[in-house]
Structure 1
Amino acid sequence: MFRNRQDAGQQLAARLVAYKKQNPVVLALPRGGVPVAAEIAAKLDAPLDLILVRKIGVPFRLELAMGAVVDGGSPIVVRNEEVIELAGVSEDEFKAACERERAEVERRRQCYLSGRPPIEVAGRAVVVVDDGVATGATMRAALRSAAARKPSKLVLAVPVAPVEAIAALRKEVDEVVCLEPQEHFYAIGPYYDDFRQVSDDEVRRLLAPHPATATA
């Protein structure tokens, strides 16, 4: 359905142009969400920043989210209790996995932002972007983190997601823009012709044209 992440971003941007007059900020989930968000930020003349969030995967099946953690002075941890119970994950195993992902969040913060403060979003329209949603646990954590920063409006923008996840995430935001909500969903990658992994260097390159990222 999408040639690549840039194509998905351009299609989303066309649906978001009304926000150009609302002093928007675009927040991307790295790494895959950054090329999508960069296209939106360019179209909206908006600063681009990151929400540093990591999925907490089941130890024996890392792609299955049992929770997520978001960077911050008081990190937000979202738990998927159903997955934790079904997978038989102990509290100690969950905490250990959470700490590993918090360490990766810190690595990415230094790698991408070099200690730069986040953009102030209070009173502004915030568009949170990723290249797709699977279970929704990671995105839920990101949205709660963004909401805590008191935007005037909170918008979720993704190219593709399962309809159940979108229904759950609507409770966290003022608006959802999803180009391809799917009844039968297995993974994000099949909806892209080119879904190659985004590198750290590409994330830094895409952030560089947005100097507002470096301002509080």
Structure 2
Amino acid sequence: MFKNRIDAGIQLAEKLLRFKNENVVVLAIPRGGLPIGSIVAKTLNAPLDVALTKKIGHPDHKEYAIGAISLDDVILTNAFGVPQDYLDKEIVRIRKRLGQRYEQYYVNRCPQSLKDKTVIIVDDGVATGNTILATIELVAHQKPKKIIVAIPVAPSTVIRKFETISNVTETICLRTPYDFQAVGQFYKVFGQVSDQKAIQLLEETNTINL
């Protein structure tokens, strides 16, 4: 059980200290990943950025990822038999949402280049893993040196899934409880992180690490 995201971030950062001398970018999943990503980035003296990616869900089962999308790329992995009309509408809808987030998060800065970097993808926890799977696919397109997935808590089945992905160099998870039902179950305090707070963390962290 973690006290809150700060506690989880401190514990996770300790496990990542060996990357401190590498050319690191910490990539947080909005919005719950930002408090944890901020602590990791400060500890490693690395820039913090956000993962503006989103999975495309199957029309009959939205949690089942059939692909991933960013503002620049679309990757379809399990879309056989899915109507093109559905895909076209989802791409437009998701891109609009990602565009809105881009305008929020990048008012005073540009996204970090991930090429040849050690990219550490962080979140406050994982349930299905589909959001991080989508992020991994799209980060890999930018040709980083390494992709590290670092999370406080997740089901063991999801961690095993990450470990089979060739693009992932290493997966670090602090807790893999057998009775996993939801991420918030393993935090004493697990309030929502607002966009305003997430943007504040992003800007403050990168100002400190300049």
Partner letter of residue 166 of structure 1? I
**Which of 169, 173, 176 does residue 178 from structure 1 map onto?**
173
Partner letter of residue 97 of structure 2? E
Name the residue aligned to 2:199. 204
Name the residue aligned to 2:74. 76
Q: 1:2 to 1:80 in 2, by over 3 A?
A: farther
**Which of 108, 111, 119 does residue 101 from structure 2 map onto?**
108
Partner letter of residue 69 of structure 1? A
Structure 1: distance between partners of 2:174 and 2:29: 18
**Which of 151, 154, 161 does residue 158 from structure 1 map onto?**
151
Partner letter of residue 121 of structure 1? L
How big is the alpha-carbon RMSD for the aligned residues of Structure 1 and Structure 2? 2.7
**Is 1:140 aligned to residue 133 of structure 2?**
yes
Name the residue aligned to 2:188. 193
Structure 1: distance between partners of 2:60 and 2:162: 27
Q: Secondary structure of 2:26's match?
A: strand
Question: Which deviations, in whole Å up to 9, do the C-alpha atoms of 1:105-157 show, x marking residues without a partner?
Answer: 11101111127432122222111111111212111110122222222221000
Q: 1:188 to 1:198 in 2, by over 3 A?
A: same
TM-score when normalising by structure 1:
0.83
Partner letter of residue 76 of structure 1? V
Asked if the contact 1:67–1:138 (Cα under 8 Å) also holds between the matched residues in 2, the reply is: no
Q: Secondary structure of 1:177's match?
A: strand
Aligned residues: 207
Structure 1: distance between partners of 2:5 and 2:130: 21
Matched-pair identity in % = 38
Partner letter of residue 169 of structure 2? D
Asked if the contact 1:59–1:97 (Cα under 8 Å) also holds between the matched residues in 2, the reply is: no
Asked if the contact 1:127–1:156 (Cα under 8 Å) also holds between the matched residues in 2, the reply is: yes
Structure 1: distance between partners of 2:193 and 2:131: 18
Structure 1 residue 198: Cα displacement: 0.8
Name the residue aligned to 2:23. 23
Q: Secondary structure of 2:35's match?
A: helix
Question: Which deviations, in whole Å up to 9, do the C-alpha atoms of 1:148-199 show, x marking residues without a partner?
Answer: 2222221000111111111111213101000112334222111111211110
Name the residue aligned to 2:13. 13
Partner letter of residue 5 of structure 1? R
Structure 1 residue 16: Cα displacement: 0.3
Structure 1 residue 102: Cα displacement: 2.2
Structure 2: distance between partners of 1:59 and 1:134: 20
Partner letter of residue 118 of structure 1? P
Structure 2: distance between partners of 1:43 and 1:95: 42
Q: Secondary structure of 1:144's match?
A: helix
Q: Secondary structure of 1:21's match?
A: coil
Question: Which deviations, in whole Å up to 9, do the C-alpha atoms of 1:65-94 show, x marking residues without a partner?
Answer: 444633232x2345566xx99xxx866445
Q: Secondary structure of 1:102's match?
A: helix
Unpaired segments ≥5 residues, structure 1: none
Structure 2: distance between partners of 1:116 and 1:189: 31
